[in-house]
A and B are shown apart, each in its own frame.
Chain A
Amino acid sequence: MTDRLLPRLLQAPAVVLLLIWMFVPLSMTLFFSFIRYVLNSLRHPEWTYPSLENWRGFGNYEYVLYKSKDFWFAVQNSIFIVGSVIFFTVVLGLAIAVLINRPFLGRGIARVLLISPFFVMPSVNAVLWINMILDPVLGLNGLAVEGLNKIVISLHDYPIIGSFFSLWPEIEPISFRATQTSAYAVIIMVTWQWTPFAILIFMTSLQSEDQQQKEAAILDGANAWSQFRNLTLPHLARPIAIVVMIQAIFHLSLYAEIEIVSRGNGNKNLPYLIGEFSSNNIGAASATGIFAVILANIVAIFLLRLVGKNLAD
Chain B
Amino acid sequence: MDIIAQKVSFGRFIRPIAGWLVALIFFFPIFWMLFTSFKTDADAVKPEYLFFFSPTLENYFQMTENYDYWRFAKNSIITSTFATVFALFVGVPSAYAMAFTPGRRTKDILIWMLSTKMLPAAAVLYPMTFLTKNVLGVFDTHFLVILVLSLINLPIVIWMLFTYFKEIPKEIIEAGKMDGVSVWGEIKDIVLPLAWGGLVSTALLCFIFCWNEAYWTVRLTTTDAATFSKLIEGNRAPEGLFFGRLSAVSTAAVGPIVVLGWFCQKQLVQGLTFGAVK
Find out whether the CB atom of B32 lies under 8 angstroms from the CB atom of A140: yes
- List A2-34 residues whose CB lies under 8 Å from chain B: 3-4, 6-8, 10-11, 13-15, 17-18, 21-22, 24-26, 28-29, 32
Which residue of A has the minimal Cβ distance to B4? A218
Contact partner, B119, options A223, A256, A296, Cβ 8 Å: A296
Is B124 a contact partner of A289 (Cβ separation < 8 A)? yes
Is A79 engaged at the interface, CB distance under 8 Å to the other chain?
no
**A17, B26: Cβ atoms under 8 Å?**
no
Closest chain A residue to B218, Cβ basis: A256
Which of B3, B131, B214, B219 makes the CB contact (< 8 A) with A223? B3
Question: Given the complex, which residues of B lie within 8 Å of A308, measured CB to CB?
Answer: 107, 111
Size bracket, chain A contacts:
35 or more
Given contacts A25-B128, A138-B45, contact A18 B103 (CB under 8 A): no
Is B194's beta carbon under 8 Å from chain A? no
Given known contacts A7-B97, A200-B268, A99 and B122 CB-to-CB distance under 8 angstroms = no
B126-A197 in contact (CB<8A): no
Q: B residues 210-260 with Cβ under 8 Å of A?
A: 211-212, 214-215, 218-219, 228-229, 232-233, 235-238, 240, 243, 246-247, 250, 253-254, 257-258, 260
Contact with A along B96-140 (1 / 0, CB 8 A): 111001010001011101111011111111111111000000000
**Is residue B94 contacting chain A, with contact meaning CB distance below 8 A?**
yes
Please, which residues of chain A bring their CB within 8 A of the CB of B127?
24-26, 28-29, 32
Taking CB atoms, residues of chain A closer than 8 Å to B66 are: none
Complex interface: chain A residues within 8 A of B115 (CB): 300, 304
User: A205 touching B277 by the CB < 8 A rule?
Assistant: yes
Contact count A vs B, C-beta below 8 Å: 303
In the complex, A140 Cα to B154 Cα: how many Å?
Answer: 40
Cα A106 to Cα B96 in complex, Å, equals: 40
Cβ-defined contact, A121 with B23, below 8 A:
no
- State whether A300 touches B118 (Cβ < 8 A): yes
Could you give, for residues 299-310 of chain A, a 1 whenever the CB lies within 8 Å of some chain B CB and a 0 otherwise?
A: 110011011101
Partner of A306, one of B93, B109, B228, B276: B276
With A114-B27, A127-B246 known as contacts, the answer to whether A121 contacts B278 (CB < 8 A) is no
Q: In the bound complex, do residue A249 and residue B151 qualify as a contact, i.e. CB atoms below 8 Å apart? A: no
Q: Which residues of A contact B254 (CB under 8 A)?
A: 119-121, 124
Q: Do the beta carbons of A131 and B237 come within 8 Å of each other? A: yes
Contact partner, B27, options A99, A113, A311, Cβ 8 Å: A113
Select one of A21, A105, A197, A270 contacting B116, CB under 8 A: A21
* Chain B residues whose CB sits within 8 angstroms of the CB of A311 once the complex forms: 107, 110-111, 275
Mark A193-206 against chain B: 1 for CB-CB distance below 8 A, else 0: 00111001100110
Q: How far is the CB of B143 from chain A (nearest CB, A)?
A: 14
| Majority-rule SS of B interface residues | helix
Tell whether, in the assembled complex, residue A26 and residue B93 are in contact, meaning their CB atoms are under 8 Å apart.
no
Taking the complex as formed, is B200 at the interface, i.e. its CB lies under 8 A from any CB of chain A? no
A10 CB contact (under 8 Å) in B94, B237, B253: B94
A-B contact pairs, 24 of them (CB 8 A): A14-B93, A14-B113, A25-B128, A106-B16, A107-B19, A115-B261, A116-B30, A119-B257, A121-B253, A121-B257, A124-B250, A129-B29, A132-B32, A196-B26, A255-B121, A256-B215, A259-B218, A270-B122, A271-B215, A274-B125, A278-B126, A289-B124, A292-B123, A304-B111
Spell out B's residues near A (CB within 8 Å): 3-4, 11, 15-16, 18-20, 22-24, 26-27, 29-30, 32-33, 36, 45, 47, 50, 90-91, 93-94, 96-98, 101, 103, 107, 109-111, 113-116, 118-131, 151, 154-155, 158, 183, 208, 211-212, 214-215, 218-219, 228-229, 232-233, 235-238, 240, 243, 246-247, 250, 253-254, 257-258, 260-262, 265-266, 268-269, 272-278
Give me the 5 closest cross-chain CB pairs, A-B, nearest first.
A289-B123, A119-B261, A271-B122, A25-B124, A28-B127
